[in-house]
Amino acid sequence: MAIGFLIFLSVMLLNVLKPRDLPSLYTKNTSYAIRGNILSSDGFTLASTTKLYKAVVNTRYIDPDKKELFIELFSIYSGIKSSEIRKKLSKRKGVVVLSYNIEEKNAQYLKKLAYELRRYKVFMSRINPSTGIKTLQGLSIIESGESREYPYNKLLTPIIGYTHKIENDGYTKIKGIKGLEKRFEAELDARQDELSQGKRDVNGYIILNKNSFTKQQVNGLDIQLNIPASLQIRIEKMIDNMKVELEAKEVMIAIMDTKTAKIISLASSNRYLPKDIKKDDYPSLNSGMVEYSFEPGSVIKTITFALLLDKQLINPYDLVNGHNGHFKIGRKVITDEHKFDWLSAENVIVHSSNIGIAQLAQKISGMEFYEGLKNFGFSKLSTPDIIYEKKGSIPSATRLNNEIYKATCSYGYGMKSNLMQLIHAYSVFNNNGKSVTPQIVDSFINELGQKIKIPKHEQVQVIKPQTAHRVKRILIKTVNKGTGSKAITEGIEVGGKTGTAHKVEKGKYINKYNTAFVGFANDNKNKYTMGVVVVEPEKSQFAAQTATVVFKKAIDIMIENGYLKPNIIK
């Protein structure tokens, strides 16, 4: 008896002295903030983030008599078939994940259900055999990550770009990889996660009182674009059809409100599904409007002519010898598609004479030519709103002193630019000699719905207003009487210049072409600078038959959608 009593005392002493894992009197809840949305100017959500939730239950804690009640209630709240839930619960004992893909709205309902299930004792307390502590585990609805959604599928890709998923402490986060998603990563990214901590009640829920602590969730900023979805949809559908009709590799277009610098459409026929990118989509992931740099061809003749006119090196009525379509400068022979005898300097632009502009360009020095091209925005970033822009190149001032380099550059060979740079340059002729910087993004929107406007970029006086007006008249003449005739639109002031250039592969010109048409379309109130590039059209190698046709169709869509109103008196 003495030995037994001694053993009893020893066990009691050990129980008193042994450290015990008591349940904490405090608890905390975390809710992750989410990435901001991308919105069109007319209020459509082009990219948004939804939270991912998973539902977890421990089968050992479900009261066997109330198992069917749990199954039926969970089925109603989650939308998952009861047979599917029953099958998952029967497969294993212990922790079971009922769903990994619960929508945020349903997750909130399920959280309320979890509370009610505890209240009605659907779950039983169990004693942990290792600790001897009684515990209760119910239905847990846990944030597991985020999913980026693109409700309009391919609309405005690749400008919007796409995202990748990154695992962070078991939580799936979203990070921008290309396009606006990458460029504005800092603005779109979540600011602050929600945190609540304080004393817990018997069911483990926080008791919210003056002693509890709450930090509110602050989501990422929304981005509102200047591009309306309604117009973009129609423009994209049109260029998709034109890509097929022209048998082209790609068709691109940019439309900018010249007065405000707002880009109202920026489209490529080569798009992809951001949520389902395949190997065939890889070439389309780049924003061709800024990432495709090419020799622009004859659209540069207008720039060369404007520089000469601005420096009073030529007069629009000066006569130029067309040499009957065949002219030699140094060792290089320059040809024209159409043979001319004599033509005026302005008709060099109207009829797109390589021989004419090559001779006129000899009047400008290499440094003046180089600085002039730089002032028009070539070899510089065209817009701050898109990342990874290829700035292109222009020959050095020293090279441009050479008569051959000066001649070839005057009609768009030996230099490279992208479509957005051409829009930036041609805005000069539609804006009294001042260039405007294209803006895709209008503003950021915070949690309170307040708009944070992006400051407009300063307009730069590139050439004299009178020079711009004269060149503008010549571009209108080019449409009405020259190579751009297919862009004529009754009641609308249309001007522009065609451009066709051989493609270069492995340092050699090949028998493939890029065609372009850059210009403007104005009515009594509105002014738009527009540009089209068609990559490798098989149907025709001439811009007058390809890019100009796309330009005209875009004007028609703008009229139908109320962006342009023809001044027609009947």
Looking at the fold, whether 251 and 156 belong to one and the same domain comes out as: no
Helix (H, G, I), strand (E, B) or coil at 27: strand
Per the domain annotation, does 499 fall within a domain? yes
Contacts 24+ apart (CB under 8 A), 472-480: 472/429, 472/430, 472/520, 474/302, 474/305, 474/316, 474/346, 474/349, 474/350, 475/302, 475/349, 475/429, 475/519, 475/520, 477/346, 477/350, 478/349, 478/350, 478/352, 479/519
Q: pLDDT per residue over 113-169, tens digit each?
A: 998 998 889 999 888 777 677 788 889 988 888 899 999 999 999 999 999 998 877
Asked if residue 360 lies in contact with residue 305, where contact means CB atoms within 8 angstroms, the answer is yes
Residue 366: the pLDDT is 96
Q: Are residues 209 and 254 in the same domain?
A: no
Residue type for position 333 = V
- Considering the domain architecture, whether residues 221 and 243 belong to the same structural domain is answered as no
135 and 196 part of one domain: yes
Length in residues, the chain:
570
- Asked if the structure places residue 7 within a domain, the reply is no
Tell me the C-alpha to C-alpha distance, in Å, between residue 1 and each of 5, 10, 12, 476, 534: 6, 14, 17, 118, 103
CA distances from 562 to 239, 427, 525, 526 (A): 20, 21, 12, 11
Rg of the chain in Å (alpha carbons) = 34
Taking the C-alpha atoms of residue 477 and residue 549, their distance in angstroms, rounded to an integer, is 17
148/263 same-domain check: no
Domain CATH code at residue 488: 3.40.710.10
Q: 481-540 pLDDT, tens per residue?
A: 999 999 999 999 999 999 999 888 877 888 899 999 999 999 999 999 999 999 999 999
Same domain, 414 and 463: yes
6 inside domain: no
Tokens read off for 521: 């379309």
Number of domains in the chain: 2
pLDDT at 395: 96
Low-confidence ranges of the chain (pLDDT < 70): 15-29, 131, 200-208, 210, 212-213, 569-570
Peptide bond preceding 158 in cis form (omega within 30 of 0): yes
Backbone phi, then psi, for 157, in 5-degree steps?
-85, 145
350 lies in the same domain as 221? no
Instruction: Output the pLDDT for position 22.
Output: 47
Same domain (yes/no): 204, 238: no
Q: How far apart are CA 409 and CA 366, in angstroms?
A: 11
Q: pTM (2 decimals)?
A: 0.85
Question: Could you count the other beta carbons within 10 Å of the beta carbon of residue 58?
Answer: 18
Distance CA 244, CA 269 (A): 10
Q: Are residues 419 and 543 in the same domain?
A: yes
Domain that holds residue 422: 229-273+287-444+457-560
Supply the pLDDT for residue 265.
98
Q: At what angle do helices 403-410 and 366-375 cross, to 10 degrees?
A: 30
Cβ–Cβ < 8 Å for 499, 513:
no
pLDDT for the residue 201: 61
Please provide the distance, in angstroms rounded to a whole number, between the alpha carbons at the two ends of the chain: 123
pLDDT for the residue 31: 77
Distance CA 543, CA 541 (A): 7
CA dihedral 365→371→376→382, nearest 10 degrees, is 140
